[in-house]
Amino acid sequence: MGGPSIRSARPGDLSVLPALEAASDTLLDGMLPTGRRELPPPATVPELAASRHILVAGDPPAGFARLEETDGQVHLEQLSVHPDAAGAGLGRALVEAALDWARQHGYTSMTLCTFADVPFNAPFYASCGFEVVQDPDGELAAVRQHEIRLGLDSLGKRVAMRARL
């Protein structure tokens, strides 16, 4: 039996992704050191439509990976899995598909920013081959500064990570 079905998002998928992202964010309840979960609102449909690429798991989508470009490399802007599908391997399948997509499109690395101490954040990404970037520079540093302005760092320690392709 094969893994979950991962595909490129179709225009009709975009309208369900903001609600999927909001539902996925509830998985952080009680996981952050501060106990608070005051995350920025999910991406809007126009923001999603402007993404470099979006991969979805399932039809209708139960998870998605939103890819952007940072410093000429692919950046995993958002990985969301619906709580009803959590623990079924969708997140890992989406990350692997995103890495494959990046390789096929000539990228040599993928970056992301995430919570350092949430088990399904930095430790999960480390198990997928990502390493912490100690001193992000360029556009990746700008992404981190944007996260700080959004208040994400007040919820828990954040890190930038990179996987070499």
Please give the CATH topology (third level) of the domain spanning 6-164: Aminopeptidase (3.40.630)
pLDDT, mean over the chain: 94
Q: Please classify residue 11 by burial: count the beta carbons closer than 10 Å to its beta carbon, then call 0-12 exposed, 13-18 middle and 19+ buried.
A: exposed
- Mean pLDDT, range 45-67, rounded to an integer: 97
CB atoms near residue 7 (< 10 Å)? 14
Task: Give the pLDDT mean for 74-79.
Answer: 98
Predicted confidence (pLDDT) at residue 145 exceeds the cutoff of 80 = yes
pLDDT at 22 over 60: yes
Q: Where are the domains of the chain?
A: 6-164
The confidence score (pLDDT) of residue 1 equals 42
Average pLDDT over residues 93-119: 97
**Phi, psi (degrees; rounded to nearest 5) at 32:** -85, 145
Q: What pLDDT is recorded for position 32?
A: 81
Q: What is the mean pLDDT of residues 128-137?
A: 97
